Every structure is written in C-alpha cells, then in structure tokens.
Amino acid sequence: MASEQHAAVQASLARNLLSSVLALAFPDDLVTNAEAQRDFIAQVPQVSAMFEQHSVFEYVTEGKALDKFQSKLFELVDQAGVSRDVKAAAFELLLVVVEQLPLEQLEQWLPKLIERVTKMVKYIKDGPNVVASACAVARILLRHVEMYSPEARRELFDLLSKLFPALLTVLLELGKPYEEVLSKDEVALFANGLDVFTELLQASPTSVRSSLSKLESAAALVFYNASLATDATARRSAARCLATLANASDKTPQMWKQIVDKTIEMAHLQVELIAGKRMVSSAQTTVLKNWLRDESATADLVTKLSIYKRAEAVCQRLSIAVEVLEECVASRYVCEREVQLVINDVVTLSRRILAVRAHEIGKQSAISEDGFRLPASVVYGVLPQFHQLGLRALQATVERAGLCALRQASKITKTLSLAAENVHPESHAALYQGVAICVRALGASTLERLGQPLLDHMVVQCKEDLEADETKSKKALEADAKAQVENKSGKTGKGKKRKRQIGDVSQLSADAAGPGALFMSARNQRLLVGNVDAALNAIATCVAVYGSLLPMESRSLASEVALLAAQQQLKRQAFLAVPQTNAGLSPVAMLLLTDAVSADANGAHATNVVPSVQYLSGLPSSSLLQRLALNATEALLHPRGPPLTVNVDSAVPTAPVMNGSTYGSSVTNHSVKSVKLPGAANVRGNLDWEKEDATMANNEPETEDNASTKRTKVENGSKSADVDMQAAENDVEEEEEEEEEDYDDERPVATEAEVEVQEESEEPVVQRTTAAVSTLAVDEDDDDEFPDIVVDDADDE
C-alpha cells in the first residue's frame, strides 16, 4: 500500500514537472522567434538532466501533457524555418523520452520517430549535429527490435529499408583525406551512424545483409582520417561494427575469420613501415578488399605527410587494428575453436612487432634508405607504443582462447621471452600484464618453459625498481670516495675555514636527501610505480597458479619482494600511477595474501602470514575485499580447530608505525626455506592450551574435598606411572620420530636467538613422563566444573 502511494506521489510530481517545462521552456512563438530559440537551446541540457534524474517518462506514460510535449517536439523537427541547433536539441529531448518510455507506448511512437530520422538523414546535408542526434534516437529504437510486436517489427523493417541506404551514403561521404580535419559533429555522426548498424547486427543481423559490403567500407574509413583515428568514441564504434559484421552471414565462423585476417594484414602493413621489410603483393591487396581505398594503403603516408605525422598515422592505424582484433576475439558469437584457428597468426604478428630494434632499421638520417620506411631515429621514438600494441594483441587472443592456446605454448613463450629482452621500460607494465594473463589462461603445465623463467625475471626487475631510488650510481660512489680521501689527506689546497664550510653544506645535503639519493622526476616515479604494481600483480598470479610446483628458491624470492614492497608502500603511495580505490586490493596486499594462502613446495602454508595481517589491518581504506583478505589470513592462524598458535614470547620490540600498522625490521637473512622476521611473531606448531589450562587451574583456590580428591588421584597416577615406566621409555623415541614426520611441512620461523636442542638422558625422560601423567591426572579433575560426588558403599551395607 505504501509503495502504491509513493508511486502515485511520484507520478503527480513528474506530471507537474513536465507541465512546468511545457509552460516555461516552450513559448508559443518558439518556431518563429530567434531569441526564444536561443533560450530553448540553452535550457535543454538542464531539462534533460532533470528528466533523467526523476525518470519522468516512466511515470507519465499517457495524458494531455505527454501528447502536448510530443507535438511540440515533432513541430520543431518538421518546421523548415527552425535552425539546425534547435532540431538537434529537440532530438536530444526525444532521446530521453525513448529511453524511459515502456514498450507499449514506445511502439506507438516508433513509426513517427523513424520517419523523422529518415527525413533528417536524407535532406539535412549541412547539419551533421542534427543527423547525429537523430541516429542516437534510432539506435535506442533498434535495441529493442526483438521485443516489439510482429506488426510493429514488420512496419519498422519497411521503414529501415529507406533509412539504411541514405545513412550509408552519408557515412561514406566522410571518407576525406587523412590530413583534412572533420568537425566534432561529423565525428559524432560517424560514431552514432555505425552504432545504429551495430545494434541491428546484434538484434536482427539478417536485415543488414544487403548493405554488408558498403557497411564494411564505411567502418574501415576510421583508418584513413586523423580526426576519426584520434577520437576514442569513433574508434570504438568502428571496431565494434567490424567485429559484428560476421553475424549477418549464414557462415559466421568463416566470415569472422575473414575479418580477423584483414585486421592482421592491416597491422602487418603498418609494421612494414617500421621494420623495414616491404612485402606488397596482389594477394595482400585481395585480402584487404573493402578496406583499401583507391590509392595504396600507404601512398598517402609517403607522399603527403611530414615524417612525424607519418609516424603518428602508423601508430594510430596499428592501434585501431589491435582494437578491432580485441573486439573480434571477444565476440560472443564465436567460440574458442575459431579463436584457435587464428592464434598462430596473432602470435606471429606480435613476435614481429616485438622483434623490431631501432639500431637494425637503417642509417640515422632524416629519411630511410628506400624513401618508404621510417628512419631509425623516428622508429626509436615510437617503439614503446608499438611494443605495447603487440603485447595487447597477444594477451587478448590468449585470454580468449584459454587452454586451446596450449598448442601454441612454445611460440607464446618465445614471444614473451623476446619481449622481456627487448621492450622499453615504458612497456614493462604491459609485459607483466601479458605474462599474468598467459599464465592464468594456459595453466600450471607451463611452469618449466614459461612460468619459472619469467617469474624470476619479474622478481629481479621488480626488486631493482623498488630499490631504484635508494641506490647510488657508480660515478656518485667514486666521487664520494675521492672526496673522502681528499678530506682525509688534506690536499685540497683550501683553508680550514673553507673546508669546514664545505663539510657543513655537504652534511646538510646528506641529511636532506639521504645517503646516495638520486634525483628522479615525477613522471619517472609514476612510471616506476606503475611497473612495480604490474609486476606485483603478475608475481601474485604466478604464485597462485603454480603454487607448490614452484621451487623453494623462486618462492622465497617472491616472498622477499612482497615484504620489500610492503615496507616501501609509504614511499610509493605519493606516486601511484592508478589511485587505489575502495573496490579492490592493492598489488602489495594481493601478493601477500596469495603468498600466505598458497602452499609452497613442502606443502606448508602461512608464508609471511603475520606481516600480511599487519599490513592488511593497517590499510587506510576498508573495502570488502580487504576485510575478506584479512579474514583469510587470520583463518590461517586461528581456524576452528587450530593447528597453529602464535608464540609472541620471543618477539622483539617492533619498529615504528608505518601507514597505520606495525612492522618489524627489514629482511636481513634469507634462506631457501624461510624468511627471517625478527620483528614478527613466531608461528609455532605446538599445541599449548593444556599447559595454559593447568596454569589457570593452579591459580584457583582449592576446597578440602578437591584437595583430598587430588591427593588420591596423584597417588594413583604415580602408581600407574611406576607400572608403565618401562613402556613409556620405549614409546618416547617412537613419539619423537612421529613428531618429526608430522611437522616436516611446518614452515620454520627464524628467531633472534638460536635454540639449542640437547639430548637428555633416560632418567629425565622418565621424570618428564611421570610429571606429564600426573599433570594430566590433575587436569582431568580441574576441567570439571562440579566437585566429584563420593558414594560411601559402607553405609549401604
């Protein structure tokens, strides 16, 4: 009942808002008054925002106000004397209406809207903003085409047969030379026009078969104009349109493979301008049918553009080709089998891109040797971007293929190894992300060839990046050593006062900048932090996938990097490339959690679990994933039946608080099996709750009955101990051997003082056994909450 009243109130308020807009924003002389039209254009953004926020047309689905609003908008669209901007604003309001109206009412508006969209596309030649707004309305109408009634759908397709040829003509007219600049409205028209066809290719693909060839040519225009190639929306719309073209064919897999082959061939054409190997043949031109214009694919780059504009165009075209490839492999209309057919070609393309080296291209001159390729200096400038695009193509294909890519595992491994040797530091983040995706997709069977070598490489590189701002260059060390020698020898030729002043200044500089600190720009710091974050994520992925298959040495090095990154988190936060949000875990937390949860080569868990708990509990944000990670690490220490307890007796005073959490001292000694943490609590496998219960029991006051009962049971226990003494001596050695076998997978934890284990004689063993038996006897009595009830049978007799 309350919900119905609330809906009625909302409908009344929405109706009042719509009536207010009609009275204030739509004056009677709006069609003829130019000043009123300017006011209307200025008010449309705010009116649209209010309609969207309050969902006005979800409540107002009928009535005089809605009919009047519709007639006003249609009048603005139909009148020839109204300016182009007013017509575009009217379509913006119509877009809000069609997004919110229910399907029953939308079917009534459908014929009138499509007719007006077709009219705008056919006859408005000098108003790209109007056509773009009209195409946005048509895109929303076509999104629900399968949900309309049969009559409405039949009428819609009849109207679309008039709209599509006109819209394709408008799109093909945008194919202007590369250097000619298109307006923002023309770019928006290109993107919205392609989105119309993309929506229909997803909802009802067979209705576009007659226009398939022209549509492919129109989408390929994004390669040949700088304004389209630099706009992210236009590139994404073209990529989605090309990726869904295969839906219109009866043989979707074959058509899809043709699109992918064209995309790969277009990418190879751009690599030839960089790698210096021009291989133009008739077969390649045939493959790129409908993608090449009248001139050659690269003639406009060679003859009309300057050298650096050519380099920019090559990078843009390769980037668009990679985007199309990503959309193609992500299509839900093909399966892993089709992706497996093209993965070999994609790996070959990626390897060719990653194999480019600037010093192998040619002379360091303004032009290349053949006048066609880019010179070596320009190639060196664009290599980082080229390498990133090659890695993107590889990781998108491998991720989609999954285990089906195992047939190409050898080639993928060689490609990633080549990238690890050649890529620029700008591309390290892309390399680490690619390694993580490939490891996750191919599984643990790639440990020997792919996982361990690249993991060791990432660990070494990440450690170098973490210590980059703390190391001294060789020249700086030599200069400091030379200065110290001169100061000691006193052969500088300066007076004592001057020496003292120089020493004071050097001391101030050392205190301010730290020992051996090197200058690093803010951009390089952000790049370094981004590379470290990507490396930590990749290392965490490798540890999670391979787990106990990793050798102890590699696993220990990964643990050491995790601790080092946690200690330097405060330094890195100031230069975070991507700010950490509350929705996820930081790379450091993810690596610590993965290292603690995953088993090592001995089958033991809880590696660095105490620093993980301290780090997670000290993070400033409190996201859901952070709480889950903290619970997971605490569960390793305190599960329901605890196999481990935390022994804090040997813990030394901890270091000052860092980022809200207490950390121990830095990693000092590193062994193959463990990492020593002097400042962290030790994790032991001894179950000592019996000892604690006995201690607590000894502190409780004893009554006379309890005391007599205890004395009786102690005497009985000593007698039974005398009887079983010989059996206990034989069982002690067996129990010690079993304990060694049971705790083989317990991770040893380093302490500051070495614990000396001395062999005791047989007599202390017997005494310890006797004491244990007596203690157990006492504990059995102390555990009872009520005193024993003694029944005297003598009275009954």
Structural domain ending residue among the three candidates 639, 674, 695: 639
Do 255 and 386 sit in the same domain of this protein? Answer: yes
In the prediction, which pLDDT does 2 show? 64
**Residue linked to tokens 């990726």:** 243
Question: How many other CB atoms are there within 10 angstroms of residue 96's CB atom?
Answer: 21
8 A C-beta contact, residue 389 and residue 322: yes
The H or E element that residue 238 is part of is helix 232-243
Mean pLDDT for 436-465 is 90
Residues 6+ apart with CB under 8 A from 407: 340
Would you say residue 450 lies in a domain?
Answer: yes
* Amino acid at position 231, single letter: D
Would you say residue 654 lies in a domain?
Answer: no
Pick from 210-214, 324-328, 762-766: least confident: 762-766
Q: Quickly state the pLDDT bin for 286 (edges 50, 70, 90).
A: low
In the prediction, which pLDDT does 522 show? 80
State the Cα–Cα distance between residues 715 and 770, nearest whole angstrom.
Answer: 12
State the Cα–Cα distance between residues 651 and 751, nearest whole angstrom.
Answer: 8
For 206-244, how does the pLDDT look when each residue is reduced to its tens digit (9 = 90+)?
888 888 889 999 999 999 888 999 999 999 999 999 999
Residue 326 pLDDT > 80: yes
**Residue linked to tokens 């049969």:** 150
For 7-16, how does the pLDDT look when each residue is reduced to its tens digit (9 = 90+)?
888 888 988 9
Do 314 and 408 sit in the same domain of this protein? Answer: yes
Would you say residue 499 lies in a domain?
Answer: no
Pick from 276-280, 674-678, 758-762 the range whose average pLDDT is largest: 276-280
* 3-state secondary structure at position 767: helix
Residue 31 pLDDT > 80: yes
Do 577 and 713 sit in the same domain of this protein? Answer: no
Residue 645 pLDDT > 80: no
* 3-state secondary structure at position 530: helix
Closest CA to 191 of 225, 226, 142, 241: 241
Record the tokens describing residue 506, joined without a space. 């050097």
Average pLDDT, the chain: 75
In the prediction, which pLDDT does 33 show? 85
Domain assignment of residue 265, given as a range? 251-413
Phi and psi, residue 670, nearest 5°: -130, 120
Closest CA to 163 of 181, 180, 138, 198: 138
Record the tokens describing residue 176, joined without a space. 């202007």
Do 388 and 449 sit in the same domain of this protein? Answer: no
State the Cα–Cα distance between residues 643 and 578, nearest whole angstrom.
Answer: 40
Closest CA to 429 of 399, 484, 400, 388: 388
**Residue linked to tokens 């007219």:** 173
Name the DSSP letter for residue 430: H
Do 285 and 382 sit in the same domain of this protein? Answer: yes
- Cα angle 379, 383, 388 (rounded to 5 degrees) comes to 155
Do 447 and 408 sit in the same domain of this protein? Answer: no
Cα distances (Å, whole numbers) of residue 361 to 280, 351, 365, 366, 540: 18, 16, 11, 13, 38
| Number of domains observed in the structure of the chain | 3
In the prediction, which pLDDT does 571 show? 59
Q: Quickly state the pLDDT bin for 456 (edges 50, 70, 90).
A: very high
Would you say residue 107 lies in a domain?
Answer: no
Do 317 and 409 sit in the same domain of this protein? Answer: yes
- Cα angle 368, 370, 373 (rounded to 5 degrees) comes to 55
For 654-712, how does the pLDDT look when each residue is reduced to its tens digit (9 = 90+)?
444 344 433 333 333 333 333 333 333 444 444 444 444 555 555 555 444 554 554 45
Record the tokens describing residue 73, joined without a space. 């908008």
In the prediction, which pLDDT does 85 show? 92
Would you say residue 793 lies in a domain?
Answer: no
In the prediction, which pLDDT does 310 show? 86
Q: Quickly state the pLDDT bin for 792 (edges 50, 70, 90).
A: very low
Mean pLDDT for 492-500 is 59
Do 409 and 447 sit in the same domain of this protein? Answer: no
Residues 6+ apart with CB under 8 A from 564: 463, 466, 467, 666, 667
Cα distances (Å, whole numbers) of residue 383 to 189, 435, 690: 33, 20, 67
Do 311 and 450 sit in the same domain of this protein? Answer: no
Would you say residue 533 lies in a domain?
Answer: yes
* 3-state secondary structure at position 242: helix
Residue 642 pLDDT > 80: no
Residue 537 pLDDT > 60: yes
Structural domain ending residue among the three candidates 613, 639, 665: 639
State the Cα–Cα distance between residues 122 and 120, nearest whole angstrom.
Answer: 6
Residue 763 pLDDT > 50: no
Do 264 and 321 sit in the same domain of this protein? Answer: yes
For 133-155, how does the pLDDT look when each residue is reduced to its tens digit (9 = 90+)?
999 999 999 988 888 888 988 99
Would you say residue 565 lies in a domain?
Answer: yes
In the prediction, which pLDDT does 301 show? 54
Do 525 and 405 sit in the same domain of this protein? Answer: no
Greater pLDDT, 104 or 393: 393
8 A C-beta contact, residue 389 and residue 425: no
Q: Quickly state the pLDDT bin for 501 (edges 50, 70, 90).
A: low
For 518-532, how does the pLDDT look when each residue is reduced to its tens digit (9 = 90+)?
567 788 888 888 899
Pick from 435-439, 557-561, 768-772: least confident: 768-772
Q: Quickly state the pLDDT bin for 380 (edges 50, 70, 90).
A: confident
Mean pLDDT for 762-770 is 46
Do 532 and 404 sit in the same domain of this protein? Answer: no
Pairing of strands 645-647, 657-658: unpaired
Would you say residue 683 lies in a domain?
Answer: no
Residue 481 pLDDT > 90: no
Record the tokens describing residue 564, joined without a space. 């080092």
8 A C-beta contact, residue 217 and residue 290: yes
The H or E element that residue 683 is part of is strand 682-684
Alpha helices in 244-306 (DSSP H): 252-275, 282-287, 299-304
Record the tokens describing residue 795, joined without a space. 């009275």
State the Cα–Cα distance between residues 504 and 554, nearest whole angstrom.
Answer: 46
Closest CA to 405 of 469, 470, 336, 457: 336
Residue 596 pLDDT > 60: yes
Q: What is the SS3 string spanning 510-529?
A: HHHHCCCCCCCCHHHHHHHH
In the prediction, which pLDDT does 586 show? 81
Residue 6 pLDDT > 90: no
In the prediction, which pLDDT does 568 show? 78
Alpha helices in 34-83 (DSSP H): 34-54, 56-59, 64-78
Structural domain ending residue among the three candidates 615, 639, 663: 639
8 A C-beta contact, residue 435 and residue 451: no
In the prediction, which pLDDT does 519 show? 62
* Percent of all residues in the chain with a pLDDT value above 70, rounded to a whole number: 65
Greater pLDDT, 293 or 605: 605
* 3-state secondary structure at position 201: helix
Record the tokens describing residue 380, joined without a space. 């060196």
* Amino acid at position 427, single letter: S
Closest CA to 54 of 20, 91, 77: 20
Q: Quickly state the pLDDT bin for 98 (edges 50, 70, 90).
A: very high
Phi and psi, residue 782, nearest 5°: -70, -25
